[in-house]
Amino acid sequence: MYWLVLLPGLLFNVIDDFVALIWVEYLVNIAILIVIWRILNGHEKQLSDYYSNLEHKSLKWIRMIVILFAAFSIELGVNEKVFSHSSMYMVSVA
């Protein structure tokens, strides 16, 4: 799973199309977020197995960071799609 960190660098050297690079970066970000979420679930289970009292021991703050990054990634993907279509339209009209 840790090879996902190296994937964008490898693909930037292979792919020449800028729009394809944006989508690859977007998909890699989403894949990394899914991997992080699964790792967090495993750590939460280990935390509950290790400690009998989980009063002040939680990973919710990390989950919030992952959720915020996911929201920004989704928003960026939506804006990239909208801007790429509008810029294509502007180029084809001119």
User: What's the whole-number average pLDDT of the chain?
Assistant: 75
Cα distances (angstroms) measured from residue 57 to each of 6, 28, 52, 77: 32, 30, 11, 34
Q: What is the pLDDT of residues 56-82, one digit of tens each?
A: 777 888 899 999 988 888 887 777 665
Stated pTM of the model = 0.66
Per-residue pLDDT, 86: 47
Q: What is the pLDDT of residues 10-25, one digit of tens each?
A: 777 777 777 677 777 7
Q: Are 77 and 93 in contact (CB under 8 A)?
A: no
